[in-house]
Amino acid sequence: MLVVGYSTAKLLLGSRSILEKLSWGSVLGPGVCGLCMIGCSLAGKSPTRGEIGWITAIFAAIMMYAKPKNRGQTSAAAPPAQTAPIWWIVLCIAIIGYGIYVTAVDALVTPLIEWDAYSDWQLKAKVLALHALVPRPEFFSDVRLSFSHLRYPLLVPMIGAGLHAMTGKLDDGLEKVPYLMVYMGLGACVFFALRKWRGVGLALGATALLMSCPTMLEYAASGLADMALTAFYGCAIISILRWQESGDWRELALASLLGGCMCWTKNEGVAMALVNAIVILLFTPRPLKPRNLLAAAMSALVVFLIYLPFLLWARGLPYTDENYAQRLTLSGIIQNLPRFGHIVTAIASSQADWWLWGLLWFLPLLTAVLGWKRLFTRPVATLWALLLLQLLAYIPPYLVTDWGDLNLLLSVSMSRLLMHATPAVVMLVAMQSPDLNLHGIKLRAPGSRHPQSAYDPP
């Protein structure tokens, strides 16, 4: 997976450092490898060692022979020279280290204990390890197995199926390992992106916030699809911000690829990909310029083309669960509008729960006040738009749900939905925050100042 991910990163990221490409490879690897296996499975071949070997070999060849053009400095200005004192670096690394340690224990030692993990995602991983998607396995038509949500997207099960194929055992207990890699990869991608934009101090602080978030730690290596979705989404956001900065089509290609992975990961991924498309369109520099309009349209088209095989494959599958797609009608939403206040209250009270989030959801507000000048920069506005649109997109399904007990649904699902937004939250914290300036209260020589980043306010 790492080879596949690294090769993809090398193709699309050009001349970045090996460490940065490895970080992106950790997130892209499971996604791209999973999509390739899905392609083979749709062609009638369930995953085998040989097939995965071929996929790896092809990507390894790409890695060795592809020589993507080096991009020049994407930012007009030099990266910020802000450094951080050693105690801050040690503190943040210790926090990140705790996160990695407990996630590694979950991935390698703790058995599968999450309800949805064994009843849905990893059960289907076993199915896909034994059966190709075409002809469609009987499993997906057996309504007695409706508890496993027969119409849910299949990227996470296919990643698990690939692992089972490699070990040759269905009960190898390794199905959570890729998400340890994805968790660390997401943290590193966020760090590298923020280090360039805001310097090492804020980048480390934001990464520590992300990787120590209790909800993230609970679900990162639980065998659910939420870690993968969070990572794909977080990296897509970074790509969108970089595309805004550089105009490089490869960044948009990366965002589109990740958008496709999001759609194949969870139904919520489709909503998030839609939010990304809206933001790409509205927040691009000079949105009415034909080139930018075309770029946004192409990006949406690529996401749709990646997702299309799932839509075709899932046609005719029984609707046995929530079926939000059919319920999300204007009349259904208007009819249930009285629930709106209750849902917003539930979202806010979950965000205020320090047991689930620390102060994570409070920090964007704090930094918006303290660093108010940055509020009017494009990346900060983009991140606020992404965050608010995503939160807004999650409300309609709660409005139209047929769950008898709305409170129960909110309590079992809210924290995982909010987790998807955590990369946007920590990036927002770092991007709009004032400089940390932790080297003591010492005055600078008159006239000296840090070189400006492209994202510094004017």
Partner 1 sequence: MVEGGSLFRWFLRILGWTVAAAIAVSAGLSITSDYLYRYHSDDIQGPARNFHNLDNFFSAVADGHGIFLHLTGFQNHKILAMMTYMRAVYRLYPLPVLTAEPGVRIITLDELLDNNPDRDGTWMIDHGVQREISLEFNESGEFSFRVIPAHPGG
**Residues at the interface with partner 1 (CB under 8 A):** 88, 91, 95, 98, 102, 110-113, 115, 118-119, 122-123, 126-127, 130, 142-148, 170-171, 201-202, 205-206, 208-209, 212-214, 217-218, 320-321, 354-360, 362-363, 366-367, 370-371, 429, 433-438, 441, 443-444, 446
**Would you say 28 and 16 are in contact if contact means Cβ atoms under 8 Å apart?**
no
For 438, other C-beta atoms within 10 Å of its C-beta total 13
The CA distance from 47 to 34, in Å, is 10
Tokens 């965000």 locate to 351
CB of 188 to partner 1, least distance (A): 17
Report CA-CA distances (Å) from 128 to 27, 133, 154, 216, 280: 22, 7, 9, 27, 35
The smaller minimum CB distance to partner 1, of residues 70 and 448, is found at 448
The smaller minimum CB distance to partner 1, of residues 81 and 308, is found at 81
The CA distance from 139 to 264, in Å, is 19
The smaller minimum CB distance to partner 1, of residues 421 and 429, is found at 429
The smaller minimum CB distance to partner 1, of residues 57 and 366, is found at 366
The smaller minimum CB distance to partner 1, of residues 103 and 284, is found at 103
CB of 350 to partner 1, least distance (A): 14
CB of 102 to partner 1, least distance (A): 6
**Would you say 43 and 194 are in contact if contact means Cβ atoms under 8 Å apart?**
no
Provide the total of helices (H) and of strands (E) in the chain, helices listed first: 23, 0
CB of 388 to partner 1, least distance (A): 21
The CA distance from 16 to 170, in Å, is 38
**Would you say 125 and 161 are in contact if contact means Cβ atoms under 8 Å apart?**
yes
CB of 458 to partner 1, least distance (A): 16
CB of 335 to partner 1, least distance (A): 23
The smaller minimum CB distance to partner 1, of residues 59 and 88, is found at 88
379: cis peptide before it, omega within 30°?
Answer: no
